[in-house]
Structure 1
Amino acid sequence: MPLLEGKKALIFGVANHRSIAWAIAQSLAREGAQLVLTYQERMEKYVRDLAAKIPGTEVIPCDVQNDADLDSAFAKAGELLNGRLDILVHCVAFAPASELENPFLQTTREGFHTALDISAYSLVAMAKRAEPLMKEHGGSVLALTYMASERVMPKYNVMAVAKAALECSVRYLAYEMGEHNIRVNAISAGPLNTLAARGVSGLTGFREQVAHVSPLRRNIEQSEVGDTALFLSSDLSRAITGEIMFVDAGYNIMGA
């Protein structure tokens, strides 16, 4: 029997075929999950084209900075999924380009607010709306983070602060939602060639460093993050919550 047979998932953050969110969608669908993908208006065509590759996948619009949009998206997802949600995947992060190009000391108030709102608060906002669709039967909430939340990664700047806030939110949500058997975890992936990662200078050099230094002596692939998300979405991880799971070929354990 497929690991996720009969399970229903709502995924935020698919942008194109290189998106980690898309890799997660593929892994979940492979094991039987029914999917709903959200899209930003400017990404609609890309998301619809990808969704068409997985039979039965629905797509709905959502701007995560807009509470009315979030209300509408979860209401529509509830209708499409017959009032049940088993898996919520949060792959949403953004900071203005200038905040990543300029020194961290020059972070603006507006840029700080935008990064934290989109990259961290949106998880809380989604979890609040997902809980009524999950609490009768339990579920899994997943987010994506990065080790810059703990270590200085030059040019990651305010996004590192946002990821730290996201990870703290994961722990508090895990505590509060646990009484309904809803698990909340995050995956800390190694550097990947995604649309979001291209906004951080030095990515190529850092990937080379990871391949040289990590215990597995290689970089990771999107599919490996997807399969970790599959594990965390399934009953195989039924006693795991509040955790940050590294998928980075072991790079995080190294001293340099």
Structure 2
Amino acid sequence: MPLLEGKKALIFGVANHRSIAWAIAQSLASEGAQLVFTYQERMEKYVRELAAKIPGTEVIPCDVQSDEELDSAFAKAGEVFGGSLDILIHAVAFAPPSELENPFVQTTREGFHTALDISAYSLVAMAKRAVPLMQQNGGSITSLTYMASQRVMPKYNVMAVAKAALECSTRYLAYELGEHNIRVNTISAGPLNTLAARGVSGLTGFRNHVAEIAPLRRNIEQSEVGDTALFLSSNLARAITGETLYVDAGYNVMGA
């Protein structure tokens, strides 16, 4: 029997075929999950094209900076799923390009607020709305982080601060939601060639460095993050919560 037979998953962050969220969607669907994607207005065409590749997948508009749109998205997902939700995937992050190009000391108040709001607070906002749909049967909430939350990665700047806030939020949510059998974890993926990552200068050089230094002597693939999310979403990970799981070919254990 498939690992996620009968499970219902709401996925935020699918943008194009290189998105980690898309890789996660494919992994979840391969094990029987029913999916709903959300989309920003400007990405609707691409999200609908991808959703069409997984039969039965629904799409719902949502701007994560809007409480009204979050309310609507979870209400509509609840209708599609018959009033319950098993899996929530948070694969949303953004900082204004100028905040990644300029020195960190020049971070603007507006840029700081935008990065933290979209990349970190949105996890809390989503979890709040997921609880009523999950509290009867429990569930799994998984987000995406990056090791720049723990180490200085030049040009990652305010996004690193946002990822640190995301990881801390993961632990607090795991503590509070555990009584409802809702698990909350985050995946720290190695550098991948995604739309978001291309906004950080020096990505190609760093990917080459990781391939040389990481214990597995290679970079990772989107599908490997997808399969880790599948594991965390399944009953195989039923005792795992509040964790940051590294999927980076082992790079995080190295001193270089």
Query: What TM-score bracket applies, with the shorter chain setting the length?
Result: over 0.9
Q: 1:216-255 to 2 correspondence within 5 Å?
A: 216-255=216-255
Displacement of 1:152 in angstroms is: 0.0
- Partner of residue 114, structure 1: 114
Secondary structure of 2:179's counterpart equals helix
Q: 1:1-256 to 2 correspondence within 5 Å?
A: 1-256=1-256
Deviations along 1:113-160, whole A, 9 cap, x unmatched?
000000000000000000000000000000000000000000000000
Displacement of 1:176 in angstroms is: 0.3
Once residues 21 and 253 of structure 1 are traced to their aligned partners in structure 2, the CA distance between those partners, rounded to angstroms, is: 25
Displacement of 1:88 in angstroms is: 0.2
Once residues 41 and 48 of structure 1 are traced to their aligned partners in structure 2, the CA distance between those partners, rounded to angstroms, is: 11
Deviations along 1:205-243, whole A, 9 cap, x unmatched?
000000000000000000000000000000000000000
Deviations along 1:71-95, whole A, 9 cap, x unmatched?
0000000000100100000000000
Q: Which amino acid aligns with 2:17?
A: H
Secondary structure of 1:72's counterpart equals helix
Once residues 125 and 84 of structure 1 are traced to their aligned partners in structure 2, the CA distance between those partners, rounded to angstroms, is: 18
Structure 2 segments unaligned to the other structure (5+ residues): none
Q: Which amino acid aligns with 1:57?
A: T
Q: Which amino acid aligns with 1:211?
A: A
Q: Which amino acid aligns with 1:73?
A: A
Once residues 210 and 84 of structure 1 are traced to their aligned partners in structure 2, the CA distance between those partners, rounded to angstroms, is: 41
Once residues 41 and 195 of structure 1 are traced to their aligned partners in structure 2, the CA distance between those partners, rounded to angstroms, is: 17
Aligned length: 256
Deviations along 1:51-71, whole A, 9 cap, x unmatched?
000000000000000000000
Q: Which amino acid aligns with 1:237?
A: A
Once residues 225 and 183 of structure 1 are traced to their aligned partners in structure 2, the CA distance between those partners, rounded to angstroms, is: 18
Once residues 77 and 238 of structure 1 are traced to their aligned partners in structure 2, the CA distance between those partners, rounded to angstroms, is: 24
Displacement of 1:194 in angstroms is: 0.2
Displacement of 1:22 in angstroms is: 0.2
Once residues 181 and 60 of structure 2 are traced to their aligned partners in structure 1, the CA distance between those partners, rounded to angstroms, is: 27
Once residues 108 and 52 of structure 1 are traced to their aligned partners in structure 2, the CA distance between those partners, rounded to angstroms, is: 40
Once residues 78 and 137 of structure 2 are traced to their aligned partners in structure 1, the CA distance between those partners, rounded to angstroms, is: 14
Q: Normalising by the residue count of structure 1, what TM-score does the alignment of the two structures yield?
A: 1.00
Secondary structure of 2:59's counterpart equals strand
Deviations along 1:27-56, whole A, 9 cap, x unmatched?
000000000000000000000000000000
Secondary structure of 1:229's counterpart equals helix
Once residues 112 and 3 of structure 1 are traced to their aligned partners in structure 2, the CA distance between those partners, rounded to angstroms, is: 40
Secondary structure of 2:14's counterpart equals coil
Once residues 84 and 29 of structure 2 are traced to their aligned partners in structure 1, the CA distance between those partners, rounded to angstroms, is: 17
Once residues 153 and 95 of structure 1 are traced to their aligned partners in structure 2, the CA distance between those partners, rounded to angstroms, is: 15
**Segments ≥4 residues shifted beyond 6 Å:** none
Once residues 113 and 84 of structure 2 are traced to their aligned partners in structure 1, the CA distance between those partners, rounded to angstroms, is: 33
